[in-house]
């Protein structure tokens, strides 16, 4: 009996030892794997911060080409330039993907002014026509101004209070929103839909407070849309300082009259291109990880933060992998989309072509929030896909936390949105957003507004995430 008891004790001890050794070996292997991953990510950051090309590339794009609205000569030059640069980086293939894009021109500078003020007389408003706006056919359009901040206020004026007048939308971006893109989302409907809603009641034009959290003298343009059921009326953005001044004038004097003259027009569609380069995957070449930005920009400033930064960061991600000798399992592709600003035709065409070719996008990452200090990435996907991914987030987060990066559920990017039906993962690169709307769609969005180190850190952060996705999949 004592022998049997001793045998049972010895057996239990042996079993415990086997389990302990197995777990220890597993943990040791896991720790070794994390150390290897951490070392490679460190190598990516070292490469970016000592031999990055995204900043000089951005300088060449901004200062050598400038703004590049779809259909413009600048857009054509940017397509040719980015393809030529990608051709020098040793990628497996670089090509142009054709896409027909809208062609809108601003024409001569806008003439928008307040007339007949008792206090100020006649004074000019800092203004930009909204993208896609009709012009005024060489004439001045004048009208008494009515100020509204909500759709309900406009509806209360109705046709009787609106016909023949100019509607002034003056709802500010909400400064209490810590995430400034949420503040933008709560105000931008005035810009996109304001002309349609005002035309329904017989207005002759609209003024829109610029989408900007700061008070300054720079108007911010951006896309608007029309509904052919109603008269097409011109739309203009005015600076936040001028919005404040006009609102104060209306309160003090009871009324104000504005005249506007716009030379903008829409021309026939133009052939343009998405610019694409890739490193072919060694194990799963038809499963693709995309890094991307949009090559087009509005026709003021240089389009530096929006979105030259995202384009040159994406280009540099692929160059990093070539420089450090990394051979990816999946195909890693850089896509520079055309026509994000006023049509999304590049993103839609890319998704259609991917479907035709039977390509699967494991993950698509878009950098379109400026070249500021990295804060992390947000992710969007089918519920099952995003649930599976977030089971891995703790491991990824441990490796990315030293670089100040967090991974959260949320949005992704406009250009990659059409890929969601593939049931892969979509991700938006999220830099610090507090200054972004000081530059967005304005003449202030110039090369000198971008910080070299912040831009390089962003590109390295994108490359680090791509590495982890490539190694571990979904």
Catalytic positions, written as ranges:
340
User: How, if at all, do strands 127-129 and 265-279 pair?
Assistant: unpaired
| Residue 374 near residue 404 (C-beta atoms within 8 A) | yes
- The torsion angle over the Cα atoms of residues 354, 387, 414 and 127, rounded to 10 degrees, is 180
Cα–Cα nearest to 109, from 267, 299, 324: 299
| Residue 267 near residue 132 (C-beta atoms within 8 A) | no
| CA angle, residues 430, 434, 438, in degrees to nearest 5 | 110
| Residue 240 near residue 208 (C-beta atoms within 8 A) | no
């Amino acid at each position: 009996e004592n022998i049997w008891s001793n045998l049972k004790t010895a057996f239990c001890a042996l079993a415990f030892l086997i389990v302990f050794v197995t777990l220890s070996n597993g943990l040791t292997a896991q720790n070794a794997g994390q150390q290897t991953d951490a070392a490679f990510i460190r190598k990516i950051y070292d490469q970016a911060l000592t031999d990055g090309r995204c900043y000089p590339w951005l300088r060449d794009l901004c200062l050598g080409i400038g703004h590049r609205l779809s259909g413009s000569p600048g857009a054509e030059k940017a397509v040719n330039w980015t393809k030529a640069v990608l051709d020098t980086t040793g990628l497996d293939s670089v090509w142009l993907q054709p896409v027909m894009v809208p062609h809108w021109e601003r024409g001569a500078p806008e003439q928008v002014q307040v007339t007949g003020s008792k206090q100020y007389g006649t004074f000019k408003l800092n203004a930009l026509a909204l993208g896609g706006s009709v012009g005024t056919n060489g004439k001045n359009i004048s009208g008494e101004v009515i100020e509204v901040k909500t759709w309900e206020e406009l509806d209360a004026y109705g046709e009787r209070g609106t016909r023949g007048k100019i509607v002034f939308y003056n709802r500010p971006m909400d400064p209490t929103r810590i995430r400034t893109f949420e503040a933008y989302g709560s105000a931008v409907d005035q810009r996109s839909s304001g002309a349609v809603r005002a035309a329904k009641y017989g207005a002759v034009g609209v003024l829109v407070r610029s989408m900007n959290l700061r008070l300054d003298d720079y108007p911010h343009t951006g896309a608007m849309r029309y509904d052919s059921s109603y008269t097409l009326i011109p739309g203009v953005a005015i600076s936040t300082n001028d919005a404040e001044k006009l609102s104060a004038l209306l309160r003090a004097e009871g009324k104000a009259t504005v005249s506007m003259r716009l030379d903008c027009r829409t021309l026939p569609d133009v052939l343009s291109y998405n610019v694409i380069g890739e490193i072919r995957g060694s194990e799963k070449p038809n499963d693709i990880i995309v890094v991307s930005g949009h090559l087009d920009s509005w026709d003021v400033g240089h389009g530096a933060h929006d979105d030259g930064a995202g384009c040159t960061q994406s280009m540099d991600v692929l160059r990093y992998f070539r420089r450090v000798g990394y051979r990816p399992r999946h195909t890693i592709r850089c896509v520079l989309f055309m026509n994000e600003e006023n049509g999304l035709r590049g993103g839609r065409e890319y998704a259609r072509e991917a479907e035709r070719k039977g390509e699967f996008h494991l993950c698509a990452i878009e950098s379109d929030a400026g070249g500021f200090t990295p804060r992390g990435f947000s992710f969007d996907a089918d519920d099952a896909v995003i649930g599976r991914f977030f089971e891995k987030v703790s491991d990824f987060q441990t490796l990315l936390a030293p670089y100040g990066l967090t991974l959260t559920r949320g949005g992704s990017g406009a250009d990659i949105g059409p890929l969601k039906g593939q049931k892969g993962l979509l991700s938006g690169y999220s830099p610090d957003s507090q200054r972004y709307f000081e530059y967005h769609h304005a003449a202030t969005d110039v090369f000198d507004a971008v910080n070299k180190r912040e831009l390089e850190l962003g590109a390295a952060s994108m490359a680090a995430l791509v590495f982890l996705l490539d190694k571990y999949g979904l």
